[in-house]
A and B are shown apart, each in its own frame.
Chain A
Amino acid sequence: MIQCKTSKEIGGMGHSMRRKEDARFIQGKGQYVDDIKLPEMLYMDIVRSPFAYAKITNINIEKAMALPGVLAVITGKDLEQYNLHWMPTLMSDTQMVLPVDTVMYQSQEVAAVIATERYIAADAVELVEVEYEPMQPVMDPYKAMEADAPVLRIDKEGKTDNHIWHWEAGDKEATDRIFDDAEVKVKEQMHIPRIHVASIETCGCVANYDKVNNHLTMYMTTQAPHAIRTVIALVAGHVGLTEEKVRVISPDIGGGFGGKVPVYPGYVIAIAASFLIGKPVKWIEDRSENLQADSFARDYHITAEMAGTKDGKILATRFKLLCDHGYTDAAANPSKFPTGLFSICTGSYDYGHSYAEADAVYTNKPPGGVAYRCSFRVTEAVHAIERITDCYAQEINKDPAQLRFDNFINKDQFPYKSALGWEYDSGDYHQGLQKAMEVVGYDDLRKEQAEKRARGELMGIGISTFTEIVGAGPSREFDILGIKMFDSAEIRVHPTGKAIARFGTKSQGQGHETTYAQIVAEELGIPAEHIQVEEGDTDTAPYGLGTYASRSTPTAGAAAAIASRKLREKAKKIAAYLLEVSEEDLEWEPGKFFVKGAPDKAKTIQEIVFAAYTNHPQGMEAGFEATHYYDPPNLTFPSGAYICVVDIDKETGEVKVRRFVAIDDCGHIINPMIVQGQVHGGLTQGLAPALYEELIYDEEGNILNGTFMDYLVPTAVESPSWETGHTVTPSPHHPIGAKGVGESPTVGAPPAIVNAVVDALSHLGVTHMEIPITAPKVWKILKEKGAL
């Protein structure tokens, strides 16, 4: 049971408070970007390339322009006049807004049509005539690295290959020495395929440039409105759009998952169009455009190795990565971390040596690498370590649960310095796995598996015990385009004791309007019901870096607590004044200060706040407001123990997840209902790449499943009934001991599922399966192994 310090009426931490934001969503009154309608608004639609790599020899816009209702057709040449045809990516690479002469991937933006109506814009797209000279694209990242591969980024002066960057971490020599001498070594090649966030709302915006006041209001699907405002000012300051002239509003967002962090060409073209025409311009992607042109994640090729003893002590790991970024590095990582936080790959285990290296490469795919529900490549890292740990257990014929128990970092070893340099804040991995095994009934399942195997049936049990790294991050290391990754809260309490709290983050379904209110309620005793939370408007919210990578609770949540505590300090002074005692004589309980030993001599927070406006002590500032910008001293390290049980249909190769138990540890829990909901959703987004999702390209660069017809997002039928639970190991450095949870399940689930499938097939000599584990893949293996 989760202990609550506040009453249900106050609704502080630990209460499963029903969400405050739901009222509008369940009654059809949410305001998503496509719901915004401004007077004289125009519509933009985009002409896209049918080829993955081609020269553009001519664009004829005549017929399109002749269509009544069409106001403009914008091409790269038009933007070139303003030097807006290229833009920087978040990783300081460059990306075309619109091409002047070459397209680099299929479905790339080639021109944009602006018209008075949505349907006319779509008609005009068909009338824009583009002549191409197709070239042979480079789709395979290994081929892209070969010496004779055509150089794709000839726009970069002096570029002689397709290599983007090299990265490494750890002590190579010491690690190699351990591998040389180790009794047991295992090695596996893994591909974490390109997948898509597929939020049900696509991307879009309404750019509204007001010529008279030289002011831009940009309504857009963004998870990081303040950063976007700064980027707009940096890119368009030279044409007069300085930062005070730009207001970014992120309305209700229909799911983000990292896909709504980057700046896509469509946004920039809409701004340019509104700037040139002087009217609001709306751009909303189709689903197919969304699947084909943006919001990609993953696409890492990983070689993972583990060295250990014969009896199961892990000694070292090695990882070699090839990172396919498409034609530009448009990942949304903190600047100093080109592979994101991949270096969490040493996992939950106590061993001294690891070495990881990565090379990134250009190909003719769309710009890739958004942090899809993941702190920048943690998914890849966790897949690698949890898979290779199982390979090791299989090699020495040891139960994978026992192997994990034998190698876990002990709870008394925290803070723990990992072989690649992170300081894990806290954890109790033994407790988590123990609990997961009890809930799932591990020993009985192993017995059942043995019986089934004897009968020729295929059943597997897979474990994943992962350590996460979230809450980016301490400003000494973490920035995006130079802006430090702090986050903020501003709380104003009105005279009658009700409050408005604003944040630099932006919910996309996580429930911030409820959970942030609960944090303030916990600290101040003002009922969460009476705390209105606002985010997403850069004119009103304090500056922050936004919501992604499970950073909201670790950063803005902490800011909420500390801003509240500043207010409590002020409240104490006022209470002492009102009660005519000294501050030392006062004690706090949620909602009031009282005199020690005389509990009926008390002032409620509401009385105190009222006094702050009506009867404050002389010399004290009136009002009751506080702001805090929180710079975390460290990241937080949530963890989880997941166990998956699969049954495989021998006739079809179909994998069915029979049970899935997820025990998560995200420190202190703000709202159990919401945490559990996050886990359910994240698990389903872990199931998807494990069994169903992958964006597939042919050699010509055609995307083969770029619509919802053939990119299989799991429905309620594919998704199992998830079983969830928790342990609580508070973060010692976080003001409320919380750690963040959103991405844990997405990161932790895939290896549990793969480990279960491999476990089901291990007696046939199977040691690894590449994701997604589709029925044909399994069926083929069964046939090869003569098990049909």
Chain B
Amino acid sequence: MAKLIQVTNLKKIFENGSETVHAFGPLSVDINIGEFVTILGPSGCGKSTLMLIIAGLLESTSGKVEFENKLVEGPKTDIGIMFQNNTLVPWRTVKGNIELQLELRKLSLEDYEDKVNDILKSVNLEDFAHRYPNELSGGMQQRAAFCQAMIHEPKIILLDEPLGKLDAMTREKIRADFQKLWMIKKPTVIFVTHSIEEAVQLSSRIILITPRPGKIDREMKIDLPYPRDLKLKRSAKFMEYVNSIEEVFHEYGVI
């Protein structure tokens, strides 16, 4: 498999005057084309920070990030990102928010008209295309934000706890939808979460991060067939993965 993203000895220390916070690192990770890699770790271990640095939106303290052997020196614009807090703007409708991504990227709204409708349909929001975000439930907002982040069809996708604020039922549903989408288009995904079950269900590989300052505890390949549906989630093998990860975090005293 071809290496797509290389993270080498990356470290981040925040300095606010005399106060310093060692967020994470140094850590190194390679991500291959078409992988679904989940970064799993306790709250505050630097997952969001790591993601921002990979996306070129934040400078690291030391170390480097490379995409296809090219050093990341500024914001990467050829990827899709979904931030921990959604980036829907209140002055545009759901559809308008999705189009905002296209407009900012100078993509033609006409060319993408069908795609906007399709992606809205795929998350069951077609009837809400002309509603404003504050008229939607939290789960619907998150689905709209997902459409906004994906509409330009990026081949590399970074998702920071996209399902974090959702109820258990909606979470389950969107996970399944998202897995379907990933199986069809096979983008490279970096997924941040602190749900162990979610990580095992979605990922081809999980990177376990220690409490702050986050370092890589271990990597775990998940050898389970896709699609990973409810039936598979009840299987012994699935539970085995979940249990072994729980044990790791139990040792750290996180759970």
A-B interaction? no
